[in-house]
Structure 1
Amino acid sequence: MAQVQELAPGHPGVLNAAGMRELIRGEPAAARPLLEKAVAADSGSATLWLNLALANRDLRDDAGEAAALERALVADPRFYPALLQKARLFERQGKTKQAAFLYQAFLFCLPPGDGHPPALQAAVAHARQAVEGHLKATEAFLEGRLKEAKARHPGERMERVEACYETLMGRRGLYMPAPTFMQFPRLPAIEFPDCAEYPWLDAFEAATPEIRAEAQAAFSQASQDFQPYISKPVGAPLDQWGELNDSRRWSSYFLLKNGKPVDEHLARCPRTAALLKVAPLCDVPMHAPTAFFSVLAPKTRIPPHTGVTNTRFIVHLPLVVPAGCGFRVGAEKREWREGKAWVFDDTFEHEAWNDSDVPRIILIFDVWNSFLTAAERDLVSVITHGVQEFGEGASPFAQGG
């Protein structure tokens, strides 16, 4: 070190190394002037300003520490070590609210992954604890105000407000549509559209006993026709589908497949076939509609995945739903109720599970996204079919993770 200092006494790297050596030895008073010279030689280095802040911390100079941290964050506003140190400074000063905001910023700017050194892992755990405590305190502060505000709007639906509030408070994850093929811009992104907008579902719900009987008859009399829903060829990337590929643990009995009727199956299920004829099914030549009975075997989970396009919605009509079955779309979990249909946007990440000891059976089919105009539906159909024609038969609606 002495030789290097003699060769380049004013170099910021040399000054920084010498200063940090003194700091590690427990001599912050000796370290500070060296680090001050380092930042004077290179005022744009966030690391040098942070090291000066650490020297000021050890000297219990809060004002000097704060000033150095500000300069570090001017040099790099996302420099997470400086954000962490500023949060710690606020915490030492009893400014818990300001500390929580800085801890949140630190967590946001932290590089992804878990391969951090133990000291940083401990800091991450503490930062998360501080942010969680702040959110709980915020909720307690807002509880009375929210109760009073809701009382001003009796009878009004509050689902969207609740979702907004839960997301803000960190109790609800934030998910965005992520289709594997086509994203149609400027459509509302809603996990579960309001079923009141789809009055034709009433006919399906009313016919649930008949549809269930047809599904169960097919399952018992033509079980060989229930094929694995996931069937990827050898050499294809399986990703999350490894356990279910070519497995009857998740099987399907198709009534309509890729826009074509499966006549033999439709003939076995006349009531279901009649209802599908009048539903606003998605219509894309060679791709849609698709309708099938979906059977999820006991103790089976469908892993998180996303659908191909937000130009369609998916309909579920639960037929046989034992206890222990569930479904998640984005941040919202629901339990199926036999005979109660719902519509959802499958371009949000979603998953399903059957923890029971008997199979779960539902009717699934796709309909147009109700926010598309007739002209938009027509052009989406032309584009999608054209992609397949140009690709010589490769279907962009093919199963994907």
Structure 2
Amino acid sequence: MTQDDLSPGLSSARASLVGGRPQEALATVRVLLDRGTESPALHGLHAQALLKTGDEAGAEAAADRALSLDVREARALCVKGDILSRRGELRDANAYYGGLMRVLEGAPTLDADLKEGLARARELRQRVTGDMMQTLQGELQGAGFNEERSHPRFRHALDLALGRRALYMPQPKAFYYPELPASQFYPRADFPWLDGVEAATDAMLAELNGVLGKENESFSPYVQTMPNMPKRPGDLLIDSMDWSACFLWRDGRETAYAARCPQTMAALADAPLCRIRGRSPQVMFSQLKAGARIPAHHGYVNTRLVCHVPLIVPEGCRFRVGNDTRHWQRGEAWVFDDTIEHEAMNDSASDRVILIFDIWHPALSEEERHLVGTLLEAMDAYSPNPATWE
């Protein structure tokens, strides 16, 4: 029998099952099976019809047969989950229900029996997850775990293990240096020299205000069309003042604005600025217009980290790195890995301005920094119009 011959019979059995007539569906399926037909969907219908007519053993055998032909057969997954759940074998039932959820999630329409099965799957998953959470919490508390005081890395790992947070990894656009520790936001205590930077917040703000008054002169779009290079389609920030910058250092070269902001530059005297000829450091006042957003993106190299010092920060401004979203606070600096997906949002009614600069990754030795710089400079020599590291 061909698939075309099988389809009308399958459709009839399915209609009977969905219509609440499992005996009728069972009779149709048996006719097809007696003809020697094989189909995952047919065995799945058989399993569901048998279960609804009270033959649990037959239903399980039919479901096993369907899954031996196709591990994604939805009705068979549902039947296995239902039977194991009835037996109290909840972890095994959860595994089959999990498969059912992966198969059916996002489907535009579902038959009534599958919709009901999906609801049971979700309910059991919540129950099993709740039981697991209770067990884990008891075990961890007995081991001394505290939600507020235990190490942030373990709390992060626990959230990942429980599916409460998504996993984000470094994805540099241009150059990956292996075996470097990667954090979304780095512990503030790892950078004691930031004390001096933060202490200069008022002085930096005064110098910022001195250049802010001449926006057309001092600030320009951060993302600009490159000469003789194609414009990236769909990038609304290219040549847009929604995200603009006043550079004190750009691509490793000092600009005229550095001399106009001497206290800002003095505050960075102890910072281990990333120095690569033609590339870095980058030191800038970065302005994000009211209502603007910088979409999720990745930086170019993981041998540097990026620092923010908030200067003008209205309420409603936030910054996400990986699965960690924070709000800027005036004068409170942070350090992050920009090769991990990150985005910025200004949901306020006024502009946000921060100081941004890049530093060497602290795990790199002096020799490594020298060699990385030499390598990237040599690579740039063969690149047409190298773009600024975003």
Report the CA distance shift for 1:250/1:129 in structure 2 as closer, same or farther (over 3 A): farther
Change (3 A) 1:245 1:222: closer
Q: 1:212 aligns with which of 202, 205, 209?
A: 205
Which among 72, 97, 108 is matched to residue 103 of structure 1? 97
Q: CA RMSD in A?
A: 3.3
Distance in 2 separating the partners of 1:186 and 1:353 = 31
- Quick check: 1:307–1:348 contact (8 Å CA) kept in 2? yes
Matching of residue 282 in structure 1 with residue 274 in structure 2 = yes
Corresponding residue for residue 306 of structure 1: 298
Aligned partner of 1:207: which letter?
Answer: A
What's the offset of the Cα at 1:93? 5.5
Tell me whether 95-104 or 323-332 shows the greater mean CA deviation.
Answer: 95-104
Q: Could you tell me how far 1:275 is from its partner in structure 2?
A: 3.2
Distance (whole Å) between structure 2 residues aligned to residue 75 and residue 185 of structure 1:
43
CA contact (8 A) 2:221 2:239 kept: yes
Structure 2 residue corresponding to 1:236, chosen from 231, 235, 256: 231
Match of 1:30 among 27, 30, 35: 27
Deviation at 1:363, TM superposition (A): 0.8
- The residue type paired with residue 279 of structure 1 is A
Aligned to 2:323: 331
Give the 3-state SS of the residue equivalent to 1:280 in structure 2: coil
Aligned partner of residue 268 in structure 2, secondary structure = helix
- Retained in 2: the 8 A contact 1:280–1:368? yes
CA contact (8 A) 2:309 2:331 kept: yes
Aligned residue identity for 1:214: E
Instruction: State the partner residue of 2:358.
Output: 366
| Distance (Å, rounded) in 2 between the aligned partners of 1:334 and 1:57 | 51
Question: Helix, strand or coil for the counterpart of 1:390?
Answer: coil
Worse overlay, 88-97 or 332-341? 88-97
- Correspondence for 2:287: 295
- The whole-number CA distance in structure 2 between the counterparts of 1:191 and 1:80 is 39
**1:144 offset after TM fit, Å?**
3.6
Q: Which moved more, 1:99-108 or 1:177-186?
A: 99-108
Judged with a 3 Å threshold, the aligned counterparts in structure 2 of structure 1 residues 221 and 236 are, in CA distance, closer, same or farther, namely closer
> By how many angstroms is 1:110 displaced?
5.9
Q: Which runs of 5+ in 2 are unaligned?
A: none
Q: State the AA in 2 paired with 1:183.
A: Y
**2:169 equivalent in structure 1:** 176
TM-score (norm 2): 0.83
Secondary structure in 1 matching 2:369: helix
Q: Which residue of 2 aligns with 1:203?
A: 196
Question: In the alignment, what sits opposite 1:116?
Answer: 108
Is the Cα–Cα contact under 8 Å of residues 135 and 170 in structure 1 kept in the other structure? no
Aligned mates of 2:379, 2:73 — CA distance in 1? 45
Shift of 1:277: 4.2
In structure 2, the CA distance between the partners of 1:178 and 1:155, relative to structure 1 (3 Å rule), is closer
Aligned length: 380
User: Aligned in 2, Cα 1:232/1:48: closer, same or farther, shift over 3 Å?
Assistant: farther
Give the structure-1-normalised TM-score.
Answer: 0.81
- Which one is further off, 215-224 or 320-329? 215-224
- Aligned partners of 2:389 and 2:48: how far apart in 1? 56
Give SS of 1:334's match. strand
Measure the CA separation in 2 of the matches of 1:17 and 1:378. Answer: 72
| 1:357 paired residue among 349, 368, 372 | 349
